[in-house]
Amino acid sequence: MKRPAPRSTSALYATSATCAAIGALLWVRGRTSAPPRMYRDFLAADFTTRSAWRVWSPAVTEDRLGLYLLAAGVVLAVAARLISVRRD
């Protein structure tokens, strides 16, 4: 009979899934982002302010950061799998 997965394995799988989900969203955002838009209807004070909100530094684009996070998610999932196999 198999033992239940240890907490460390569950935590690694959860972290892996979170990294992969955020990475996928950032990758899609980086691929489909349009030039900044005017948000005139948000606040009257922001009438001429462009949205320049960035997730990461200008040196690393969002689609590249997304790929890095996807790769980290895969590595963490493989590590969690190896830990669970080793403990069985």
Question: Alpha helices of 1-88 — where are they, by DSSP H?
Answer: 7-32, 62-87
pLDDT in tens, 24-53: 988 888 887 655 555 554 554 444 444 556
Query: In DSSP terms, which residues pair with 38 in a beta bridge?
Result: 50
pLDDT in tens, 47-77: 444 455 666 677 788 888 889 999 999 999 9
Domain that holds residue 75: 24-87
**Residue at 4 is within a domain:** no
Token digits for 38?
């005017």
Number of structural domains in the chain: 1
**Residue at 30 is within a domain:** yes
Structure-token match 């907490």, residue found? 7
- Which of 75, 86, 73 minimizes the C-alpha distance to 22? 73
CA–CA dist 39, 49 (Å, integer) = 7
Query: In DSSP terms, which residues pair with 50 in a beta bridge?
Result: 38
